[in-house]
Amino acid sequence: MVKKKLKKLQQKREAARETHEQAQDIPKITNENVAEHREEVLSGARKYIYPLQHSKHRIVLWSTILVIAAVLVLSTVLVMLLYRQQSTSRFIYQVSRVVPFPVARIGNSFVDYENYLFELRHYIHYYESQEDLSFMTEEGAQQLASYKNRALDDVVNHAYVKQIAKELDITVSTQDVDEQIRIAREQSRLGSTDDILEDVVREYWNWSITDFRRSLASELLVQKVTRALDTEAQQVAEQALADLDGGADFADVAKEYSQDEASAQNGGEFGEVDASDRNVSQATVDTLLRLEEGEYSGVTVIPYRTGYALAIIKNVEDKGSSARGAHIVIPLQDVSETLNDRKEDQPYRLYISLPEQ
């Protein structure tokens, strides 16, 4: 029993001696050697940290390379589809709405490819859905070539129109567009509700309401610029209106000033119309039906033949829902003449080549 106790005591002494020896081997940290010990600890950690940092840098590098490569490949594909194949697909159209690819250049300004597709796609949709025209046939292919040229001419011309409008400080307001929609609705040309209007523009042109308003705004801008440029026609119309205000007979003024041969010799009378009449412009019908019997309007712009004209309209006889009307018409000079001069001074460059018609 005594031997066992002595043995345990001896083991404890040996363990205590070993612990003391190990403690003697641990270096003491003082103010003089603290920097040295800190560096030893950090150097031990670096061998684990550096490989992780190196791996992270490689991941970032390769990720960047892959992203750049993907962007280059996608850009190449898009350029091929737009400029070589001239795709008109919905996907390409949506891409062109996000990325401003140019279709033409005028001076230092670019014409967006999206504008061209906006015009072309509504032509295609209308003739496919409403006229059952297949562009896969020879006749259809010729028609498509014609529509492509027309759409491109439209967007280039409108770019010049916008230049002129900016110089003349001409704008189209939301109220201007609303007024055109109101006129069309009251004459049952576009439906009486927003839902019907939306269905109509989608069915005929595959447009949203926003697209339709955009098209109307473009048309109104051309109308306003055309009127502003033809100062001579404006002077003639104002003189005719001054004669009427001075007491002259409407029929006599129409015979003197109106250039609408079909009605001028008849005192300007063009017959009886109502809101559903399609033989007279909706602007003329709207103005006429808002006048009291015997009353005439101021100078207004109406669509006329292939362009526009200034008109003074009179309600000759009110018949309730219809009226017998007369007008004095002074055609406006086609804006294309001014645009052709602009094109000579500032030639444009196309980035696509269209097929011959």
Q: What is the DSSP letter of 356?
A: P
Binned at pLDDT 50, 70 and 90, residue 17 comes out as low
Reported as a single tens digit per residue, the pLDDT across 142-197 is: 889 999 999 999 999 999 999 999 999 999 999 999 999 888 887 777 777 778 88
Q: Give the mean pLDDT of 266-284.
A: 90
Residue linked to tokens 């350029």: 79
Cβ–Cβ under 8 Å, residues 304 and 277:
no
- pTM of this structure: 0.79
Q: Of the candidates 112, 111, 108, which has an alpha carbon nearest to the alpha carbon of residue 95?
A: 112
> Residues 204-218: pLDDT tens digits?
999 999 999 999 999
123-154 tens-digit pLDDT: 999 999 988 888 888 888 888 999 999 999 99
Element (H, E) at 256: helix 250-257
DSSP assignment of 144-198: HHHHHHHHHHHHHHHHHHHHHHHHHT----HHHHHHHHHHHHHTTSS-SSHHHHH
Q: Are strands 109-112 and 269-274 parallel, antiparallel or unpaired?
A: unpaired
Q: Specify the higher pLDDT residue, 35 or 337.
A: 337
Go through the domains of the chain in sequence order and give each one's CATH number: 90-229 (1.10.4030), 231-335 (no CATH)
Query: C-alpha distances in angstroms, 89 versus 97, 117, 124, 145?
Result: 13, 9, 11, 16
Burial of 161 (0-12, 13-18, 19+ CB in 10 A): buried
